[in-house]
Amino acid sequence: MAYNCVVMQNEDPDGHCSRVVDRVSRFRMTGRGVWASVPDHDWNDWRWQLRHRITTLEALETLLKLTPEEREGLVLAGNNLALAITPYFFNLIDRDNPDCPIRRQVIPRVEETVTASWEMIDPCGEDAHMVAPGLVHRYPDRVLFLVTDRCASYCRYCTRSRVVSGAGEQHLHTDFSEAIQYIRKHTEVRDVLLSGGDPLLFSDDRLEHILSQLRAIPHVEFLRIGTRIPVFLPQRVTPELCAMLRKYHPLWMGIHTNHPKEATAEVREACGRLADAGIPLGNQTVLLRGVNDDAAVMKELMHKLLMMRVRPYYIYQCDLVKGTHHLRTSVRKGIEIIEALRGHTTGYAVPQYVIDTPGGGGKVPIGPEYVLAYDKQRVIIRNYEGKVFEYPEVSESRGAPTTPDKAVTEVKHGCARERCDRS
């Protein structure tokens, strides 16, 4: 008999392994909570989940004792970003813990009504790069196609809260014909990212209509879908959806997971169906205060993602969205987390930490400094342990190596001592 398990390397004095962890047990089924009497065919129907979302203060108060800050935030939620939580995702909330990391992501707080001086309505400058209604062309060879303004649940830190949910300051009116015509005309566009809102809220037929038009454009090399549906509503990832998506390869999908509690058995199964359909999966995580601003929490999340066949792709510094200052961490904290991952776990579990620069400058990678000095002869680098090494630089000319500069020689001597110490 084969056992699906991982043996943890903790041995007692007699050399016996003291702990065996079942891989599957890392991914718990969510359970139905107050919906325990709901039949299987309803609970597992994504349309049922959408129809029974918690969308009002009154409904939420029947399920959860709110803090004063949450209650006041809910009273004012309709002025910014609507409330919506699927029953499935609601069951991840710790009802006895006001600081529950799931709770902080989806339940409004009064802090959302306060705007810091540096916060913006459109922090990524998308409106300035909108070349057709709903189509953003910010990078040379790729476009962002905002196909809907609705999501299964609404993240309180949403970058597009100005248009998402219909409660913000603007409304999204995508012109599909004009957007697709623009892509046809611009042969430099090889990559189209469908986002919103969440494209997977569309029916299979409607989503396929968009994908088929894009796939028919010769210079569009591959398609991407950005979605949080596998996390908010894993029931939506049906065999029929996966069968449809696989017809449009190469097609990639980026999901959005922020905390290990979100990596449930249901999400694991949904991601498995997508991966089995040949769809490469990446994950984007937003660094959030009180949610995942801890290296151990972030490492656990990255490990769970890999177990679900999802490659950690980005950790985003929280965008400068209006009313999100209470969820934002320092950039230093993000760098500390990357430092705690790099070299301390598999490289596949180390995403790139980025800031989407305010005003539309694009994503800039941020991380610890590993290059300490360099000139024409050598590069001085450190590793994850803080040890320093020298790597010879290749000259652009074919001449013989020259005498190193004094400043670099001094660092080189330090490197030599480091090598002697290690030997």
Catalytic residues: 138-139, 142, 151, 155, 158, 160, 319, 356, 363
What are the backbone angles phi and psi of residue 224, rounded to the nearest 5°?
Answer: -130, 150
* Residue position matching structure tokens 């539309």: 360
Q: How far apart are CA 342 and CA 369, in angstroms?
A: 12
Nearest to 166 by CA among 180, 181, 154, 176: 154
What counts of helices (H) and strands (E) characterise the chain?
14, 15
Asked whether 408 and 373 are in contact (CB, 8 A), the reply is yes
Q: How far apart are CA 318 and CA 327, in angstroms?
A: 8
Asked whether 283 and 256 are in contact (CB, 8 A), the reply is yes
Q: How far apart are CA 80 and CA 16, in angstroms?
A: 58
Nearest to 307 by CA among 329, 279, 343, 283: 283
The terminus-to-terminus CA distance of the chain in angstroms comes to 46
Nearest to 103 by CA among 132, 73, 123, 134: 73
Rg from Cα positions in the chain: 24
Q: How far apart are CA 375 and CA 390, in angstroms?
A: 11
